[in-house]
Each structure stands twice: as structure tokens, then as C-alpha cells.
């Protein structure tokens, strides 16, 4: 039984979470036979529950079930698959409050962000339902008389999904909802740092699947350590692996999948910058910069890491930032009055502290001091102060991505220089410019502008809408998830030619008469 002293005990009961949970599922059935993964909240340090990990034998059993389910699921008409996804979206609406609170408590993001993450799941289901009637191909005119040509898309098969702790449910749904309407089945390896969220999602799916008498294996989870990721990456029965996480992890997954000529969709690190020009609305700018830097305690791939500020307004912007940071309230994300919650665990705190040390060693100047917090309200040991450092863009620590609320500020003199600084990192996920000058905005968005997958004008770097494809370039991996035409990666394209004439014309006029 779940401890009734937990602040989310009622929500855990609603979501079917127990004190100890089997962490491997082919759909309606859970099983496991390996060591337990413990889940403790970074909010207060309390133990929430445990999830049993999977063995290689468990993995093989899941894959066998998933491949069998694919043979049935691919034959269901796409609009009918969309109807199932619609029902799943409605089930998420029913459990939004409970699941959002679990996300907040297990991962540490604010309750509003947790609820927002579940809303993203609902939104992508709505998007996928419409998409289920729009999996269009292309018809072409043939150069040969009496022939017709067209392209069509077919399901791939089993899609492997590896997700990170910072969005423990939304990123899975971005992939799963689209993959399902495309006719694929999904095998999900969740983060070990937020395993209970995956159990909750699977429980919600199971009710929809059972009500519609669907075969087991359309939605599967396999909780475990990095070995599960290795199984997926090397498995030739998994034509696509979608992996979200660090660039280091992405290199490993990408290389393994490429070795067997599979497809990978990689959503990796970000080192996102906002360029602030003299033509910026500073009130709007400060709001976007602060939220981007401290939202989710700086643990978003789209978090704002760097502010590139024109020298003429640099001092003004810095003073406004200092004033804004002085107003930040740090504490339990379940408390709506708090702006900043905890980091995911104590290892993340150690990484944060090491980064601050490196900033100072490499010549940076701390404008707003950071540090770990302790005492009443911070018993978990995962709370830190958001900080600001004046740096040089070429400093080694600035070139890296630190998953923590550390904001770097620097000066520029010309927009060409600012764009070069923005692009002068290995990562290429999200970027923004704050300006009311049309020429500056268009230069930033032009061919010689931002090299990121996301480029915004007068909004920050953090977050994205379901309708646009999400992803980045360079060390961010080049993948695209969610909206637009990103569904195409979950399908295989086929070109078809039909000869309805009485002749068989050969290429280049070759004659071969019998």
C-alpha cells in the first residue's frame, strides 16, 4: 500500500500506483523479475515507491508481443487508430490533475508545469486524431503512356522510445500518439529517475485498450537501466529508435542504430541563447529570459543558458535581471507561490556546484551568487539558488550544457557578432531575438541567421507548440518530433507504378521483344 503520509497518496491510488510496481508491460499485463528501481521525490526526499526492472528475458518477451501486435494494428484503418488515440486523450483529460501532480512530485517541476505537461499529451492526441485522416501520399505523372505513379506511406513496425527525466510523460506521448496513428506499436524505456510516471501512463492506456479489445503490445513499457536502451538500439526488430537525453547518450544510441542501418530520431542537448537588441521591449525580455532560465529549475533542453546583450543596454538589462532574481521564491513545486523547485537529485546539485566553480576558475564573474540550499523546506538536499554569471562565450564551461539554473550574460556590439556568438556552440536547439526592428528579426531568421531548429522573435527559448516540429541541429541530433510533417519518420515511403496499358515500354528506349 502507498504511504498515506505522501502529499500525492490519493493521486497514486487514482493512477493505480502501488508501493512496489512491476515495471515491464506488454499492455494489459505487467511483469518483472529484476532489481527494483527506487523512486524518491526531490521535493521532500520521501520515498514514493519502487518499480521492478526488466531482465533480457523480459525484454525479449515484450518484443515478441509487440511484433505480434503490429501485424494486427497495421491493418486497422488509420481513422480507426485515430479513434483509439482520441479515447486515450479523453482518458488523460479525466486523470490530468492526478497525473500532473505525480509528474510534479516525482520529477520536481512546478505543479502548473506538471499539469501543462499532461496538457501537451492531450494536445498531441488531438493533433494525431486529425492526422489519422491526413497521411497523404503524392500522385505524379508518368513519362510512359498508360502508366500511373504515386507515393504512399506504410507503418514501420516497432518504435523504440527512450525518454528523459525532465519531461517524463510528454515526450513519450509526442512519439507514441503519432506512431500509433501511423500504424506502429511502441516500446518505451522511461527514465530511471521518474519511473512511476510511466506506470501511470501505462495504466491509463490499459483501460482504453481493454475497452476496445485491442491486442497486447501496442503500448509497452520496459523500466530498467541503460542496458534496456542498449537492447533497443541494437535490436534489428526496432526499425526506429527515438531517444531524448544528453548528447553523450545520443552519440551512443545513434552509432548503434546506424551500425545496423536503422533509423534514429535524436533530441539531445541545448545551449540556448537570447539576443537582446537596443530595440527590445525590456519588460517582455526580462520575463522571457527569467522564465527560460529558471523554469523547471533550468532542466529543460530549451532552457535559456545565455543572454547576448547589446553593449548599449547591457548594464540596464543586468540590473533588471538582478532585481527579478531577488524576487524569486524557491521551494516545493506543489506550492503555487514558489517560482523554482528542486533539481532532480543530489548528483544534479553536485554538477551545478562544479559548474559554478569552473565559471570562477575560468574568469567568470558571479553577478547573482548561487549555491545549494539547506534547512527547513529544503530537506531533500536538491534545492539550489538560480544564479547569473558574466562570462566570455568561448569559455569551456559556457560551451557546455549544464542542466541547472545558471544563466550566462555577455556583450555584443553588432548583430552579425551576436548571431556568430549565438551559433558559436556545438548545440543547435532553440534560439531567440528580442527586437521590434523588422530588419534585425529577419536577419536573425534568414539564411545567415540562427542555426538552430527553433528560432523565435520576441518570445523566449523555452517551450514549443504542438503544431510545429520540435528539434534541433548539430549536437542536438537533427530529430523532429510532434507537429508539422514529423509523422513521416514513423513510416516508410514507397513509390508505386501501375501499368494499365497493353505495352511494357523499357527505360531509355531499350527493345526486348519476345
Rounded Cα–Cα distance for residues 148 and 501 (Å): 10
Catalytic residues: 267, 301
Reading the block at residue 149, the C-alpha cell is: 505513379
- 39-42 long-range contacts, Cβ below 8 Å, gap at least 24? 39/106, 39/194, 39/195, 39/196, 40/380, 41/105, 41/106, 41/108, 41/380, 42/107, 42/108, 42/341, 42/342, 42/343, 42/344, 42/345, 42/380, 42/382
Describe the crossing of helices 226-234 and 247-259 by its angle, rounded to 10 degrees. 30
Closest CA to 321 of 364, 292, 345: 292
390: β partners: 365, 409
Describe the crossing of helices 111-131 and 170-181 by its angle, rounded to 10 degrees. 10
Give the Cα-Cα-Cα angle 90, 485, 118 (nearest 5 degrees). 30
Reading the block at residue 237, the C-alpha cell is: 526488430
Rounded Cα–Cα distance for residues 454 and 400 (Å): 19
Rounded Cα–Cα distance for residues 254 and 239 (Å): 13
Closest CA to 102 of 174, 176, 2: 2
Rounded Cα–Cα distance for residues 83 and 61 (Å): 28
Amino acid at each position: 500500500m502507498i504511504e498515506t503520509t505522501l502529499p500525492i497518496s490519493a493521486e497514486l491510488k487514482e493512477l493505480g500506483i502501488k508501493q512496489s510496481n512491476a515495471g515491464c508491460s506488454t499492455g494489459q499485463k505487467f511483469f518483472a523479475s529484476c532489481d527494483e528501481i527506487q523512486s524518491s521525490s526531490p521535493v521532500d526526499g520521501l520515498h514514493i515507491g519502487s518499480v521492478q526492472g526488466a531482465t533480457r528475458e523480459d525484454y525479449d518477451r515484450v518484443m515478441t508481443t509487440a511484433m505480434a501486435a503490429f501485424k494486427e494494428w497495421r491493418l486497422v484503418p488509420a481513422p480507426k487508430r485515430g479513434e483509439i488515440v482520441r479515447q486515450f486523450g479523453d482518458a488523460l483529460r479525466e486523470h490530468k490533475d492526478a497525473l500532473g501532480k505525480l509528474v510534479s512530485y516525482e520529477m520536481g517541476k512546478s505543479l502548473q508545469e506538471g499539469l501543462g505537461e499532461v496538457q501537451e499529451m492531450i494536445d498531441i492526441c488531438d493533433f494525431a486524431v486529425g492526422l489519422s485522416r491526413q497521411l497523404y501520399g503524392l500522385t505524379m505523372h508518368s513519362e510512359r503512356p498508360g502508366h500511373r505513379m504515386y507515393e504512399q506511406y506504410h507503418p514501420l513496425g516497432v518504435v523504440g522510445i527512450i525518454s528523459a527525466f525532465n519531461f517524463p510523460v510528454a515526450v513519450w506521448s509526442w512519439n507514441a500518439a503519432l506512431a500509433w496513428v501511423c500504424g506502429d506499436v511502441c516500446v518505451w524505456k522511461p527514465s530511471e529517475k521518474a519511473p512511476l510516471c510511466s506506470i501511470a501512463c501505462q495504466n491509463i492506456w490499459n483501460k482504453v485498450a481493454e475497452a476496445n479489445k485491442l491486442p497486447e503490445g501496442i503500448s509497452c513499457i520496459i523500466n530498467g537501466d541503460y542496458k534496456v536502451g542498449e537492447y533497443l538500439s541494437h535490436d534489428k526488430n526496432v526499425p526506429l529508435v527515438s531517444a531524448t537525453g544528453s548528447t553523450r547518450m545520443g552519440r551512443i544510441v545513434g552509432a548503434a542504430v546506424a551500425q545496423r542501418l536503422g533509423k534514429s530520431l535524436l533530441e539531445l542537448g541545448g545551449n540556448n541563447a537570447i539576443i537582446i537588441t537596443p530595440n527590445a521591449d525590456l519588460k517582455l525580455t526580462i520575463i522571457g529570459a527569467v522564465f527560460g532560465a529558471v523554469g523547471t529549475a533550468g532542466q529543460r533542453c530549451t532552457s535559456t543558458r545565455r543572454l547576448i546583450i547589446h553593449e548599449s543596454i547591457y548594464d540596464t538589462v543586468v540590473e533588471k535581471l538582478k532585481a527579478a532574481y531577488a524576487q524569486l521564491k524557491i521551494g516545493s513545486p506543489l506550492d503555487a507561490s514558489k517560482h523554482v523547485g528542486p533539481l532532480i537529485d543530489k548528483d544534479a546539485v553536485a554538477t551545478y556546484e562544479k559548474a559554478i566553480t569552473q565559471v570562477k576558475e575560468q574568469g567568470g564573474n558571479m553577478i547573482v551568487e548561487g549555491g545549494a540550499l539547506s534547512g527547513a523546506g529544503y530537506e531533500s538536499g536538491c534545492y539550489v539558488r538560480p544564479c547569473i554569471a558574466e562570462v566570455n562565450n568561448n569559455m569551456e564551461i559556457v560551451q557546455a550544457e549544464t542542466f541547472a539554473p545558471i544563466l550566462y550574460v555577455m556583450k555584443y556590439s553588432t548583430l552579425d557578432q551576436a548571431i556568430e556568438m549565438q551559433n558559436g556552440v556545438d548545440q543547435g536547439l532553440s534560439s531567440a531575438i528580442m527586437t521590434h526592428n523588422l530588419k534585425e528579426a529577419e536577419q536573425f531568421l534568414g539564411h545567415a541567421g540562427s542555426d538552430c531548429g527553433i528560432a523565435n522573435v520576441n518570445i523566449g527559448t523555452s517551450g514549443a507548440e504542438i503544431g510545429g516540429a520540435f528539434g534541433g541541429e548539430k549536437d542536438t541530433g537533427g530529430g523532429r518530433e510532434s507537429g508539422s510533417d514529423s509523422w513521416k519518420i514513423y513510416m516508410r515511403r514507397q513509390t508505386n507504378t501501375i501499368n494499365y496499358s497493353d505495352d511494357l515500354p523499357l527505360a531509355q528506349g531499350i527493345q526486348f521483344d519476345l
